[in-house]
Amino acid sequence: MHLHILGICGTFMGGLALIARAAGHKVTGCDAGVYPPMSTQLSEQGIELIEGFGADQLALAPDLFVIGNVVSRGNPLMEAILDSGARYVSGPQWLGDHVLPGQHVLAVAGTHGKTTTSSMLAWILEANGRRPNFLIGGIAPDLQVSARFDPQVDTFVIEADEYDTAFFDKRSKFVHYRPRTAILNNLEYDHADIFPDLAAIETQFHHLVRTIPASGRIVAPAGNEALDRVLARGCWSETVSFGTDGAWRAGPADADGAFAVLRDGQDIGTVRWTLGGEHNRMNALAALAAAEHAGVPAADGIAALSRFGGVKRRMELRGTVNGVKVYDDFAHHPTAIATTLDGLRRQVGQARILAVLEPRSNTMKLGTMAERLPGALQQADLVYCFGAKQGKQALGWDPGMVLAPLGQRASSFDDLDALVAAVSSAARPGDHVVVMSNGGFGGVHGKLLHALAR
């Protein structure tokens, strides 16, 4: 079957393209601004990429058009598809209909930590000889790629996003995955561009819970009010809790980051790694409980996590110049920003932290959570916020006014070069510069390292 994928350079759709190719299909695709690293991965697999969404691509005459959620009405190729009566389907539905049946699907959902927890879970299975299939929104160095599929393997780890499926299917992506094991990592308000309130997101999570069989397992944190409400609406599967009051708990981390894992009060082993932060310990507990449901004993899971190398763009050290460390982190929601900075503060003690922030997600650009930013940035000694005045990344609010409670610690910029100059001028040996964005941020990491070297 020939599939032509619209929006192919997105993480999910690009991963889906690699899976479709591995499943034996001919795959082509298009996107606006065909860009690496996904374009490189796809080209290496012999997948033809076309720049833009021209209506002339209808002449490719694929058996099926697979539509990503970046495509909306008015897109010229989509309009041509609709006019012609050609067959089309969303990416999540195609995956759910053609790849996931017959698989033990382990889905990782939640507002935060999906990519890291999915990577931990896939690595536990990989390290224990299971060679799982997976589709994850990032790349863990241990796994090397973001997506993999072998039809002979019957285990599939997937990052289960609550964002909507397509312009013609406003359900969350994860309702198409039909998991047997589901991690519900956490839940709070996000995606203000498609959800009016938290209750609307809870309804989508309830739809997900309804698809999990009685023989399945739901792994959820103890005491998360939103998830408690979701499960109270109906739950037909085994539930396993983690966290401070959960069945799975984490002991305090030592100076190197190692921590004991406790199940029902019993110490069952120690994860010896260098990853920092309470959030990573919680992610680890969830991954261990899910892997156990897939047949990996807890002790073997703990041993695997002790060899886990982290995930790109999750406090990834990009370089050290003249004693200044520059990190890249995906944090873009106030809770994630606060968690990232808290974890770094615990690692570096009294050393200065310079936070460089790009509020790039639709929720942050709308300003829905802007008022929470000063509190989220409290652990930073200096704050630099970037917001374009025009174009796709323009903010609907004034960073200077929003960050005013931080006083002289905070500065805002609408020119990237000016921001780089300000950060490199203020930085001194021993500082930690953490760049937080869910996008490329104009290559600011490299620009900072270059400026610091000068």
In terms of CATH, what superfamily is 2-92? NAD(P)-binding Rossmann-like Domain (3.40.50.720)
Q: Where are the alpha helices (DSSP H) in 294-372?
A: 298-305, 334-348, 362-366
Query: CB atoms < 10 A from the CB of 319, how many?
Result: 17
| Least confident range of 90-99, 221-230, 407-416 | 407-416
141 pLDDT above the threshold of 70? no
Q: Higher model confidence: residue 237 or residue 442?
A: 237
Cα separation, 262 vs 249, in Å, equals 5
| Least confident range of 49-58, 181-190, 333-342, 429-438 | 333-342
Locate 447 and state its tokens.
């620009």
Instruction: Tell me if domain 2-92 and domain 316-453 are identical in fold.
Output: no
Where residue 213 falls among pLDDT bands split at 50, 70, 90?
Answer: very high
CATH tag for 100-306 (out of 3.40.50.2300, 3.40.50.720, 3.50.50.60, 3.40.1190.10): 3.40.1190.10
Q: What percent of the chain has pLDDT over 70?
A: 91
| Least confident range of 38-42, 111-115, 154-158 | 38-42
Query: CB atoms < 10 A from the CB of 33, how many?
Result: 8
Query: What pLDDT, on the 0 to 100 scale, is given for residue 190?
Result: 74
Locate 306 and state its tokens.
């002790």
CA distances from residue 357 to 73, 188, 290, 294, 337 in whole angstroms, order as listed: 32, 21, 33, 39, 9
Exposure letters 105-122 (e unless 16+ CB within 10 A, then b): bbbbbbbbbbbbbbbbbb
Residues in binding site for ATP: 110-116
Per DSSP bridges, beta strands 164-166 and 155-159 are unpaired
Per domain, the residue ranges of the chain are 2-92, 100-306, 316-453
Query: What pLDDT, on the 0 to 100 scale, is given for residue 341?
Result: 86
For the chain, the average pLDDT equals 88
Q: For 107-131, how does the pLDDT look when each residue is reduced to its tens digit (9 = 90+)?
A: 999 988 888 899 999 999 999 999 9
Query: What pLDDT, on the 0 to 100 scale, is given for residue 158?
Result: 97
The second-level CATH assignment, the architecture, of 316-453 is Alpha-Beta Complex (3.90)
Where residue 310 falls among pLDDT bands split at 50, 70, 90?
Answer: low
Is 49 in a helix, a strand, or coil? Answer: strand
Query: What pLDDT, on the 0 to 100 scale, is given for residue 349?
Result: 86
> Could you give phi then psi for residue 40, rounded to 5 degrees?
-65, -45
DSSP 59: G
Query: What pLDDT, on the 0 to 100 scale, is given for residue 216?
Result: 98
Three-state SS letters, 215-255: CCEEEEECCCHHHHHHHHCCCCCEEEEECCCCCEEECCCCC
| Least confident range of 1-15, 360-374, 398-412 | 360-374
| Least confident range of 169-183, 206-220, 227-241, 255-269 | 255-269
Residues in binding site: 110-116
Three-state SS letters, 399-451: HHHHCHHHHHHEEEECCHHHHHHHHHHHCCCCCEEEEECCCCHHHHHHHHHHH
Chain centroid, CA 362 distance in Å: 15
Compute the average pLDDT of residues 390-412: 75
Q: Higher model confidence: residue 410 or residue 172?
A: 172
